[in-house]
């Protein structure tokens, strides 16, 4: 199985006629994802390599029945695009847009929670999601993913998401789903959301979790793992040498005093029974050992 998306997921691309939307939307389609339509105001009635384009998400949903949306629009339009998708009944939204103001993120996140509880947002500022061999929504290369499981991956870091996929695939260890949640201060989907879904998925037998400095999501995830999970978890936390008070990469990755440090997160995860690695390569090696012990390789 997989979490959040599968071979039956049907997708529209908001921003399909733009350079990035076209590139990634077509690449997702070529992977096998069911990209049914694009949405760009004022471009309705056109198409992108056979994919029809509509002026609004509502029109696209009524015409195609799509249940997921891939948002690839500039930061100033992202908030409206996300809320438009939710209003049209889209159940799963992936937004890769970087640079959205934190105030805007907090606003649309809370509006989704209040007014559209049936809609899940992944992102923004994330690589997206891939269930190998079934569905790819976002910017992850399908070439580095291996279908079949049994490992689920959830990561705040885009680049380390790709490394985790590649290293496991090179060892013949497949993935059920890989979720890049992004590192912005107000993510639509967090570690616990993914861990809960992986715990419930019978084909996911182990989980790799990649965190980074800033915030307290890793500590909260550790609490969840200790109380609710019986599947093995391997974790790596990036930013061990990050200087205090300096933003590293994006708004979510910042250490203030003793809060949000890699050391503190690693200790919390270790206390929860998680196998904590010192670097990404070691995380992959530890996961391979666990999977082999499970008899899945």
Is position 166 annotated as part of the catalytic site?
no
Query: Which entry of 22, 250, 265, 286 is annotated as an active-site residue?
Result: 250
Per-position DSSP letters for the chain, written without gaps between them: --SS--TT-EEEEETTTSHHHHHHHHHHHHHT-EEEEEE-TT-TT-EETTEEEESSHHHHHHHH---EEEE---HHHHHHHHHHHHHTT-SEEEE------HHHHHHHHHHHHHH-TT-EEE-SSS-EEEETTTEEEES--GGG--TT-EEEEEES-HHHHHHHHHHHHHTT-EEEEEEE---SSS-SS-HHHHHHHHHH-TT--EEEEEEESSSSHHHHHHHHHHHH--S-EEEEEE-TTPPTT---SSTT---BTTBT-HHHHHHHHHHTT-EE-SSHHHHHHHHHHHHHHHT--
Which two structure tokens, joined as six digits, stand for 254? Answer: 């910042």
Which active-site residues does the annotation give?
250
């Amino acid at each position: 199985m997989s979490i959040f998306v599968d071979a039956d997921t049907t997708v529209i691309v908001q921003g399909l006629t733009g350079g990035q939307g076209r590139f990634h939307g077509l690449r997702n389609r070529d992977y096998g994802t069911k990209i049914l339509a694009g949405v760009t105001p004022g471009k309705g009635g056109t198409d992108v390599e056979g994919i029809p384009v509509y002026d609004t998400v509502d029109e696209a949903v009524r015409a195609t029945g799509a249940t997921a949306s891939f948002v690839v629009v500039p930061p100033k339009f992202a908030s409206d695009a996300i809320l438009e998708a939710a209003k049209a009944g889209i159940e799963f939204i992936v937004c890769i847009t970087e640079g959205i103001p934190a105030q805007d993120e907090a606003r649309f996140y809370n509006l989704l929670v209040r007014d559209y509880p049936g809609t899940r947002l992944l992102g923004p500022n994330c690589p997206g999601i891939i269930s190998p061999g079934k569905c790819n929504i976002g910017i992850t290369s399908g070439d580095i993913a291996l279908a079949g499981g049994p490992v689920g991956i959830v990561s705040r870091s885009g680049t380390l998401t790709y490394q985790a996929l590649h290293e496991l695939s090179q060892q013949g260890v497949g993935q059920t789903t890989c979720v890049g949640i992004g590192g912005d201060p107000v993510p639509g989907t967090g570690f616990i959301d993914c861990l809960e879904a992986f715990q419930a998925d019978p084909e996911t037998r182990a989980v790799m979790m990649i965190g980074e400095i800033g915030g307290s999501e890793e500590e909260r995830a550790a609490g969840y793992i200790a109380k609710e999970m019986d599947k093995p978890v391997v974790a790596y936390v990036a930013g061990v040498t990050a200087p205090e008070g300096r933003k590293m990469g994006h708004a979510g990755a910042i250490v203030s005093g003793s809060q949000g440090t890699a050391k503190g997160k690693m200790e919390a995860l270790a206390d929860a029974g998680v196998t904590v690695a010192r670097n990404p390569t070691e995380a992959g090696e530890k996961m391979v050992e666990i999977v082999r012990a499970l008899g899945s390789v």
